[in-house]
Structure 1
Amino acid sequence: MISVEQIRAARSWLGISQQELADAAGVEVKTIHRIETGFRGATDRTLEKIRRAFEGKGIEFIFDGSKPVGLRTRSAR
């Protein structure tokens, strides 16, 4: 699952606000804020919505096995 650090980095990389991410993911902005400030109780479903929102904006998340290690932009196909 994506990490808090990956979420912060991806949002910063794209230059989008917490509100813009919340809108894209279909979650409340307070959910994004809580996750980014270290709340570890986010559900897998919520994290998956956030991941899909980023992937829709061209972000790929990098893992070493199941450990989140970074992100990159998806190359044009």
Structure 2
Amino acid sequence: MLTTGNQLKAARALAGIDQTAIAEAVGVHVNTIRAMESSGPAPIAGRAQNVQAVQRALEALGIEFLNHGSPGVRLKAAN
């Protein structure tokens, strides 16, 4: 599950997508993505539906969200 701003930033980097592109894909303003990422290591404060939409969009790009003790991200293994 997407939980922190740093996790979002890392997921975008792995997916090779910038803030504007993910905002457009999800249908939110780029400032929404900036605000999410500005939380850094803290939990993202914002509308749950926006966080979930961003997570789904990144998962569609091959990102897997990890929360085994601390939040992380990785590319899904190719089958």
Q: TM-score, normalised by structure 1?
A: 0.82
AA paired with 1:70? G
Partner in structure 2 of residue 37 of structure 1: 38
Q: For the aligned residues, what is the CA RMSD?
A: 1.8
Provide the identity percentage.
35
**What pairs with 1:11-26 in structure 2 (closer than 5 Å)?**
11-26=12-27
Say which structure, 1 or 2, has more relative contact order (CA 8 Å, 6+ apart).
2
Q: Is the 8 A contact 1:18 1:32 kept in 2?
A: yes
In structure 1, C-alpha distance between the alignment counterparts of 2:70 and 2:49, rounded to whole Å: 17
Alpha-carbon deviation of 1:10? Answer: 0.8
Q: Is the 8 A contact 1:61 1:68 kept in 2?
A: no
Q: TM-score, normalised by structure 2?
A: 0.81
In structure 2, C-alpha distance between the alignment counterparts of 1:6 and 1:41, rounded to whole Å: 13
In structure 1, C-alpha distance between the alignment counterparts of 2:63 and 2:20, rounded to whole Å: 18
1:20-45 CA distances to partner (integer Å, 9 max, x unpaired)? 11112221111001111129431111
Aligned residues: 75
Q: Of 49, 52, 56, which residue of structure 1 is paired with 2:53?
A: 49
Unmatched tracts of structure 2, length 5 or more: none
Alpha-carbon deviation of 1:69? Answer: 2.1
The structure in which a higher percent of residues are strand is 1
- Deviation beyond 3 Å, 4+ runs, structure 1: none
Unmatched tracts of structure 1, length 5 or more: none
Query: SS in structure 2 opposite 1:70?
Result: strand
